[in-house]
Amino acid sequence: MNWLHDFILPKQASTLSGNIDNLFWFITAINVVFFALIAILVIHFMRKYRRKSENEVTPHITHNQTLEIVWSVIPLFLVIIIFFWGFHGYVNAQVAPANSIEIQATGKKWVWQFEYPDGMRTLNAFHVPVNRPVRLVLSSEDVIHSFFVPSFRIKKDAVPGRYTEEWFTATEPGVYQVFCTEYCGKGHSDMLAKIYVDDEAAYQKWLLEGDEEIKTMPLPELGKLVYENKGCATCHSLDGTRGQGPTWKGTWGAMHTMTDGKQIKVDENYIRESILEPQNHIVQGYEPIMPTFKGLIRDREVLGVIEYIKGLK
């Protein structure tokens, strides 16, 4: 019957999916029996009792208490079993194990952002290790979205102004599709993401080095990605407007006066230091508010930012 399972349901890839699928097939079995019963009777009665003459007399059967009790109690008994089974599975899916890896998943039109406990952020894709529980803390920046992973049999709404959560333990390495399942406008059907389930070694390697993409992408493009994803854009503009921090436009090679009066030229070393030790030198007229990105940014990403800034004339 495996072919039937594969036709009807997605691959099982989390510790939750087995129990849910068993209930699915239990209900299916009940449904097939009841539907077959009803369909056979309808068709049988349509043929057997089809009117043969206008004067046919039918028996006057108004009710049958025994029969009515039987056909009320049997379904009642069955649905109570289904209720408890479904409730049990649901409760399991509500409470994440205490040792879960926590990942923040934030929906906004029409992307998913993920943030690891160490501050590392990814967009529309993230990696998790196989056989370790992962707790997703969901929220939204605009309208309601919903985070659905068919192979894990999990789904939960991401609601603006509050946190919701869901969890899973992936049982098999692979790439798993994420859908947004709460209608959110024009890009709703393109609000997709992927979960990469790695074995432990590959996961540790990914944590250190990042995606293949990060390793091969041209540096200026990588810098632009970092600018957009790591929050640089919040304070540093690209068009010369003054933000919380100095604009990046035309800053390459310029001389800046620091709060301690020192003159510093913007070069590779200054940019690297500003990312990793931002409190060392503060440009005059700005507050010392930039957090350090030490441990949150990979070496190649720093190089990318440097090359990106070079291009912003």
Partner 1 sequence: MAHYAPGENYLNSPPGLWSWLSTVDHKRIGIMYLWSILFFFLIGGLMALLVRIELLTPKQTIMTAEQYNQVFTLHGAIMVFLFIIPSVPAALGNFVLPLMLGAKDVAFPKVNLMSLYIYWTGALMAVGAIVLGGIDTGWTFYTPYSTSTGGAVSLMTLAAFVLGFSSILTGVNFIATIHKLRAPGMGWFQLPLFIWSMYATALIQIMATPVLAITLLLLFMERVFHIGIFDPKLGGDPVLFQHFFWFYSHPAVYIMIVPGFAIISEIIPTFSKKTIFGYKAIAFSSVAIAIVGFLVWGHHMFVSGQSTLAGAIFSFLTFLVAIPSAVKVFNWLATMYRGSIDLRAPMLYACSFLLLFSIGGLTGLYLGAMSVDVHLHDTYFIVAHFHYVMMGGTVIAFLGGLHYWWPKMFGRMYNERLAAIACALVFVGFNVTFFTQFVLGSRGMPRRYYNYLDQFQPLHAFSTYGSWILGAGLFLTAGYLLATFRKPMDAPANPWGGKTFEWETQSPPITHNFDFDPVLLHGPYDYRPAKPRENEPVAH
Told to check if 4 binds partner 1 by CB under 8 A, we report: no
Output the smallest distance, CB 13 to partner 1, in A.
Answer: 12
Q: 126-145: which residues touch partner 1 (CB under 8 A)?
A: 142-144
- For the chain, the straight-line distance linking the first and the last C-alpha, in angstroms and rounded, comes to 64
> What are the tokens at 253?
């090679």
Quick check: 125 binds partner 1 (CB under 8 A)?
Answer: no
Site string for partner 1, 46-65 (x = CB under 8 A): x--xxxx---xxxxxxxxx-
> According to CB under 8 A, which one of 29, 92, 123, 213 is a site residue for partner 1?
92
Interface pattern 195-234 for partner 1 (x via CB under 8 A): ----------------------------------------
Site for partner 1 in 152-181 (CB under 8 A): 153-157, 159-162, 164, 177, 179-181
21, amino acid identity = D
**Which listed residue (87, 213, 240, 294) binds partner 1 by CB under 8 A?**
87
Where residue 161 falls (left for φ over 0; alpha for ψ -120 to 50; beta otherwise) is left
Q: What is the dihedral angle through the alpha carbons of 189, 194, 195, 201, rounded to the nearest 10 degrees?
A: 180
Q: Least CB distance from residue 95 to partner 1, whole Å?
A: 9
Convert residues 25-44 into a mask of x (bound to partner 1 by CB under 8 A) and - (unbound): --x--xx--xx--xx-xx--
Q: Report in angstroms how near the CB of residue 191 gets to partner 1 at its nearest.
A: 10
Instruction: Give the Cα separation of 220 and 243 in Å (integer).
Output: 22
**Beta bridge pairs of residue 166:** 136
The three-state DSSP-derived secondary structure of 265-287 is ECCHHHHHHHHHCCCCCCECCCC
Residue 37 parent element (H or E): helix 17-48
For the CA atoms of 21, 24, 29, 34, what is the dihedral angle to 10 degrees?
A: 180
Question: Judged by CB under 8 A, which stretch of 98-106, 186-194, 220-228, 259-267 contacts partner 1?
Answer: 186-194
Q: Quick one: which H or E segment has residue 304?
A: helix 299-310
Query: From the CB of 36, what's the least distance to partner 1, in Å?
Result: 10
Pick the closer one to partner 1 by CB: 75 or 295: 75
Task: Rule CB under 8 A: say whether 90 interacts with partner 1.
Answer: yes
